[in-house]
Structure 1
Amino acid sequence: MGYLHSGSPGPARLHSVTTAPPTPPPPAAAAREVELKLQLDPRDLPRVAALPVLRSLCDEPPRTRRLRTVYHDTPDLRLASAGVALRVRQSGEGHIQALKTMAGESTDDSAGVAVRREWEWPLPGDRPDLSLLEGSGAGGMIPDEARARLRPLFVTDFMRTVLVVRPDSGTVIEVAIDDGAITAGDRTERISEVELELKAGRVVRLFELALALQRFVPMRIGTENKAEVGYRLVTGRKPRPVLPEPTALSPVATMAEAFRHVVRQGIRHTLANEPCALADGDPEGLHQIRVALRRLRIALKLFHPVTQSAETAELRAEIGWLSDRLAPARGWDALSALLDGADAGLVGAVAAARQGPLEDAVAALGSARASRLVLALGTWLEDGGWHARAAAETRALLDRPMKDSAGPWLTALHAKARRAGKTVGPSSAKDAEKLRRRLRRLGYAADFFRGLYPPAAARPFLDALHPVLATLDALHDADTGQHLLASLADGEPALRKPASAAARHLDRLADTHRKALPDVWRAWRDTPVFWG
């Protein structure tokens, strides 16, 4: 399944861990690794190194070498649980031991870019030497009780072609083109990726270079590093859906800082759910991507007074395009969840009807257009021209505390939601949908800005809002399900009777939620706002 270079030494051998070398080298300092990973079709990989857009920025020829790396952990994966990876890499006749953090250092890292700590030490052989960790600041990352239980778990074996590009006098980027495989026991996954590592310069240069490469070779941002893929192979687990990160704004954040943080968070949320959505069309993965896209659209609209431009409008339109491509599959997924115990023939027909929209959704997510959207959004955000090149009065507003504007923005959204819900029990699906959309915008905005206020103040408001939204979402799903059932019954007479029974079931569910709506609405309406 994967490419393994001829002459591969084969699977890792079980061996002991050295604890005291004869002549230990000086303690290693932690390096900060900043990289953007791009995944591509293995058939396109050989073309990358020869692209003029890369070669024109290089002042030395590319270098190619084979890298074989063995990752170590305990049988119960103590290191992975701690978020670190211990590896020994062979390159030529030499060996390098490395300890790396597997996740970003902060939830405010640049969107799509991994920022990790890494320690490296030269080794005389292929056995880990944990005594090297002492004095480096990394000693506490591997618990004492785990050290004697470390074993080889999986191997990466690939050919790496490296080019060093200099887009400008202040930027150095190492471009690593990797072709090979990750092997854990009898499970293998192909490595076909390009890593852009920032050695000097601004993060935006990574996005600019990725966007330039994507114009010639289809690529998409990858969020799993080799260690994470290896551990997934070891456990046999599929990629899982990821919920939005908690917002991490501080009360002193400026408007520019808040905007950058919220959009970065939306991009990360989108990318984090792509692996499971693309792997098997996971319904929750697709749903979470739609949530991330909604949050991005609302953020761009909310901050529109200070970030408006032709670029912003185009980005909002492209986010809308991708969200629209995912919506039909989501409708069938919601209906499936409501048909527990329904006629088997109807359940099968719903699953079959979902297949086409699902394939369309997965195709849209994996398309060059979707990849360009994420790269373009990251480039625009990290370039910061929306701030640095804004008019003086706009720049002054962006440099003011976010809290100055958050309150008035939330008050306006709150007032619109209250007006939409003044009838308490909307008399039509249209009324309910209007209320749902307004409350959804308010809920996302409140979540964006909650960190500006004391947690104890924000929690009651958000806790009261959740059941209102859940009730309105249930009404929306029931209404959508009714339309989908009708479309099935119209196309297949044999489904009319079970579809009618299912429609009556949805009616009863909707009626229950409509009766519950006034109480949860009043509970939220009477809850004090947290922004003063």
Structure 2
Amino acid sequence: MTMHRTARASWPRELEIKLDLGIEDAGKLKKWLALRGSPECARQHSVYFDTPDRRLFASDLVLRIRSCGNGLVQTVKTLSPSAAGMFDRAEWEKRVASLAPVADDRITELILDPRMVAELASVFDIETARSRWMVGEQKALCLVVDEALIRADERQSAFCEVEVEIASGDATAGFALARKLDRVVPIRISVSSKAERGFRLLEPLRRGYPAESIALSPALTIREAFPQLIAACLRQYRLNETVLLDRHEPEAVHQARVALRRLRSVLALFGGMLDVRADRFDEMVRDLAREIGRLRDIDVAIGSSMFERHRDILGQRRTDAYARLVGVLRAPAARALPLDLIEWAGSRRNMLERLRTESDGPITGFATEALTRARNRLARRARHFSKLAPAKRHRVRIAAKHLRYASDSFASLFEYDHPRRTERFLRTLNRLQKELGKLNDLAVARAMLAELDGSNVPSGNARQAKRAGRRLQELLEAREFWTVA
């Protein structure tokens, strides 16, 4: 069976800005909107289907049958696995007679095995109370508030989301409306479709969300690839931020910081082409990452036997640091940052005017040059690694991270030509990062212990530096996956 992961331009499309809204704030928002006109209200019941081994969802496809008052409609949608805020999906609708999926001749290229239809079974259902307004100049925007309840097996979860449907293809007015809504109630960009929420409810509770693989098409231009990479980073960040707004999970702390570091790496990769707003965004992301980093350092210390006698004081510091972080995350600036980034990244005005023609060039050539620069930078900084001072070793670690994040961003462009080489390079790079990370953890631990009780523990740096040096040599001898030879 063949699945198509990349939506074609000729397929029917749905473009919308999706926002998360607290359940407790839905009533206030609806009252505010009601002052601007009466909504069109409806209740919907949607049943989602998949095979026992989740083949549809694994291939970024969703099939549901929705009851909406005047019959049943079967919808097949492509998922946007790297979507953040802006959802651009292909979808096909077909009226059906019952809650049983049927074949659709228009989408046989997506599902080539007709026997799949017979394997489909319901996996969860969603009850939705939908309120719909036409707003904006000349009522050109459709705004939807959905209050929903997912039921999956013995579990259920309530949520509320806002959708701003974009008909013209220009999302400027939609983003302006989103900011206006945030002045009424707190909102955040959404990174999860209703289907993803349902499938997530079937899984064990997640403690954090690592980065997902990025699938860039070699046919993309530089300008087209940039917003996809930004969205992938923001998706990882928002998934982990959602966990942190609910509870303290050390893994979510770690992954949220990783997401922001990936985001800064993407901004740096494209930095020479971006307008002045890139610097402002980089500063804001850096400050947020530092705030998360304070909590991360305490989490790491509490998990180390070196800090056994300081657990009580570190526990209080962690409580205080988490409370401070939640306060930062709940502030308007932190809510606005992902929304502003998504709009800017997708704008044709984010590139320097003198480079806009160049930005229409192929992403593959740009990626090759960027990866080569990142590898050469690491090689320069890593010379005589075992003899380097801690500050210079830290610069090696930063260079390795930039190479890792660049490799993760662009690997999909080359993996079909060099799959084994790509896998080996990424595996070797991951090993190096772990050893350099241990070296950094030792330095952070020594500084924290000195601050707590003035102790001067043996660093262990020489042994760890030797291990990191071996991994460095392995990487620098590895064949690059982005070269033709």
Instruction: Report if TM-score (shorter chain) is over 0.5.
Output: yes
Structure 1 pair 85/458, CA: closer, same or farther in 2 (3 Å)? closer
- Give me the whole-angstrom Cα distance separating, in 2, the residues matched to 1:143 and 1:345: 64
Contact 2:84 2:191 in 1 (8 A): no
1:179 maps to 2:164: no
Q: Is the 8 A contact 1:332 1:481 kept in 2?
A: no
Distance 2:13 2:395 in 1: 48
Aligned residue runs from structure 1 range 318-467, under 5 A: 318-339=284-305, 346=310, 350-387=314-351, 390-391=352-353, 393-402=354-363, 406=367, 409-450=370-411, 454-455=417-418, 461-467=425-431
TM norm structure 2: 0.81
CA shift in 2, pair 1:379/1:30, >3 Å? closer
Q: How does 1:289-328 map to 2 (within 5 A)?
A: 289-309=256-276, 311-328=277-294
Task: Name the SS of the counterpart of 2:442 in structure 1.
Answer: helix
1:150 matched to 2:121: yes
Deviation at 1:197, TM superposition (A): 2.5
- Give the Cα–Cα distance (whole angstroms) in 1 for the partners of residues 408 and 449 of structure 2: 35
- Aligned counterpart for 1:232 among listed residues 200, 212, 215: 200
Amino acid of the structure 2 residue aligned with 1:365 = L
C-alpha change, 1:52 and 1:246, in structure 2 (3 Å) is: closer
What is the CA RMSD across the aligned residues, in angstroms?
3.8
Kept in 2, the 8 Å contact 1:84–1:99? The answer is no
- Quickly say closer, same or farther: Cα 1:79–1:523, change in 2 above 3 A: closer
Cα deviation, 1:176-223, whole Å, max 9, x if unaligned, reads 112343344654322222122333423455434323322332101222
> 1:150-200 deviations in whole A, cap 9, x for unaligned?
35x5443332110123557xx943211123433446543222221223334
Once residues 326 and 392 of structure 2 are traced to their aligned partners in structure 1, the CA distance between those partners, rounded to angstroms, is 32
Q: Contact 1:178–1:193 at 8 Å: present in 2 too?
A: yes
Deviation at 1:438, TM superposition (A): 2.4
Corresponding residue for 1:15? Answer: none
User: Within 1, Cα distance between the matches of 2:291 and 2:369?
Assistant: 34
1:63 aligns with 2:63: no
Aligned letter for 1:128?
Answer: L
Q: Which residue of 1 aligns with 2:250?
A: 283
CA distance in 1: counterparts of 2:426 and 2:119, whole angstroms: 47
> Structure 2 residue aligned with 1:103, among 36, 61, 79?
79
Say if 1:527 and 1:489 are closer, same or farther in 2 by CA, change over 3 A: same
* Number of aligned residue pairs: 470
Tell me the distance in 2 between the aligned counterparts of 1:247 and 1:86: 22
Partner of 2:185: 217
Deviations, residues 247-290 of structure 1 (Å, cap 9, x unaligned): 5252x644323433332332233234334444433323322222
Is 1:38 the equivalent of 2:5?
Answer: no
Q: What SS class does the counterpart of residue 129 from structure 1 fall into? A: coil
Q: Aligned equivalents of 1:488 and 1:444: distance in 2?
A: 34
Q: How many angstroms does 1:133 deviate by? A: 2.7
The letter for the 2-side match of 1:295 is R
- Alpha carbons 1:48, 1:217 under 8 Å: kept: yes
Q: Which residue of 2 aligns with 1:137?
A: 107
Deviations 1:470-512 (A, max 9, x none): 221110012112233444447xxxxx8xxx8xx56xx44x443
TM-score by length of 1: 0.75
Q: In structure 1, give the amino acid aligned to 2:29.
A: V
Change (3 A) 1:72 1:403: closer
Alignment-derived partner of residue 91 in structure 1 = 68
Aligned: 1:190 with 2:151: no
Q: Is the CA contact (8 Å cut-off) linking 2:46 and 2:64 kept in structure 1?
A: yes
Match of 1:128 in 2: 99
Alignment match, 2:6:
none
1:115 aligns with 2:92: no
Q: 1:174 to 1:486 in 2, by over 3 A?
A: same
Letter in 2 for 1:455: H
State whether residues 207 and 251 of structure 2, in contact with CA within 8 Å, keep that contact through their aligned partners in structure 1.
no
**1:307 and 1:90, CA in 2 relative to 1: closer, same or farther beyond 3 A?**
same
Work out whether residues 66 and 160 of structure 1, in 8 Å CA contact, stay in contact via their aligned partners in 2: yes
8 Å Cα contact 1:211/1:376 also seen in 2:
no
Preserved contact between residue 239 and residue 275 of structure 1 (Cα < 8 Å): no
Deviation at 1:323, TM superposition (A): 0.8
Shift in Å at residue 437 of structure 1?
Answer: 1.4
> SS where residue 333 of structure 1 aligns?
helix
Match of 2:130 among 157, 160, 165: 160
Amino acid at match of 1:329: L
The change in CA–CA distance for 1:516 and 1:175 in structure 2 (over 3 A counts) is same
Which has the greater radius of gyration?
Answer: 1
- Which amino acid is 2:402 matched to? R
**What is residue 474 of structure 2 aligned with on the other side?**
523
Structure 1 residue 325, shift from structure 2 partner = 1.3
In structure 2, distance between residues paired with 1:183 and 1:439: 44
Contact 1:78-1:146 at 8 Å conserved across structures: no
- Distance in 2 of aligned mates of 1:178 and 1:31: 23
SS at match of 1:383: coil
- How many angstroms does 1:350 deviate by? 4.3
1:47 matched residue in structure 2: 28
Return the offset for 1:314.
1.8
Query: What SS is found at the alignment partner of 2:210?
Result: coil
CA contact (8 A) 1:247 1:262 kept: no
Equivalent residue for 1:16? Answer: none
Cα displacement (A) at 1:128: 0.9
Aligned to 1:5: none
CA distance in 1, matches of 2:200, 2:413: 37
- Render the CA deviation track for 1:354-381: whole Å, top value 9, x for unaligned: 2322333344334432220001011111
SS in 1 for 2:185: coil
SS at match of 1:315: helix
SS in structure 1 of the partner of residue 129 of structure 2: strand
Given residue 480 of structure 1, which amino acid in structure 2 is its aligned partner? V
Contact 1:295 1:444 in 2 (8 A): yes
Aligned-pair identity (%): 24
Per the alignment, in what secondary structure is the counterpart of residue 437 of structure 2?
A: helix
The answer (yes or no) to whether the contact 1:219–1:368 under 8 Å persists in 2 is: no
**Is it true that 1:269 corresponds to 2:239 in the alignment?**
no
Does the 8 Å contact 1:84/1:141 carry over to 2?
no
User: Matches of 2:470 and 2:280 in 1, distance apart?
Assistant: 41
Q: 1:477 to 1:232 in 2, by over 3 A?
A: same
Q: 2 CA distance for matches of 1:478 and 1:231?
A: 39
Correspondence for 2:4? none
